[in-house]
Amino acid sequence: MSKIKLIALDMDGTLLNDDGVVTPYTHDVIQQALQRGVEIVLSTGRPLSLCATYSEELNLSSYIITSNGAEIWTTDHEVIERHPLNAKKIETLWQLGNERNLHMWLVATDQIFVNARRPEKFTDHEWLKIGYGNLTEVEKTELLNELNNVKDIEITNSSLTNIEINKFGINKAYAIETICKRMDITMGEVMTVGDSLNDFKMIKQAGIGVAVKNAQQLILETADFVTDTNNENGVAKAIEKYVLKQE
């Protein structure tokens, strides 16, 4: 097993407990890893505006992966890469949800549209992703059948009741690979921790892919190791096992 040089952490359901906070215990373990020279990167479906404060709280100083890999930022908030969806495609995806009266959120580089709200002109914005939430199993199945007819999109989720769409080929694993190249690190030297389908590829492709115990079944089956839940400091325990105790 290669020595871990970079740790990529999903946020919701993984790093954050159900109250949306990083526990003092997890914070302390992350500081210990940083002091040993291990790079730690937030890898989230959230836009930068909803995760930057956590990066600062944890004293991170390299990169932040946002919107499922649609953007890569430095911790100084300089955008390194951006992979937008075509405006016409976003409009098509919005119409699919609107016809079914679904709860939606649309993430642009300059604004977030929630509660199925749409812009006056889709072409006035640069689009990062769209999400459909609060889905029943029937709604999810019907929507996925429709989405299978839409070309060049990446379909994931961040919970069992939602579906998230990015540009095809854009995901957290792709973003981590980009960061690795910039830092001269291999994917074999990366540990990832996550819980949902938008974490699947980064867990599968990392040297050590870790699932929290509360993860979706596919993630539990794919991971190299299952740690405790997000409410039981699962991230901290994985870092202790594969980084701190390997010293």
Beta strands across the sheet bearing 127-133? 112-113, 103-108, 127-133, 163-167, 153-156
HEC profile of 196-217: CHHHHHHHHHCCEEEEECCCCH
Residues 94, 99: Cα–Cα separation, whole Å: 9
CA 194, CA 208: separation in Å to the nearest integer?
12
Separation CA 242–CA 29 (nearest Å): 12
Q: Annotated active-site positions, please? A: 10
Report yes or no: 63 and 76 within 8 Å, Cβ to Cβ.
no
Name the nearest CA neighbour of 246 among 180, 189, 184.
189
**What is the residue whose two structure tokens read 């109250």?**
19
- Which spans in 4-83 are helix H? 24-35, 52-57
CB of 187 within 8 A of CB of 171?
A: no
DSSP label of 234: H
Q: How far apart are CA 187 and CA 78, in angstroms?
A: 23
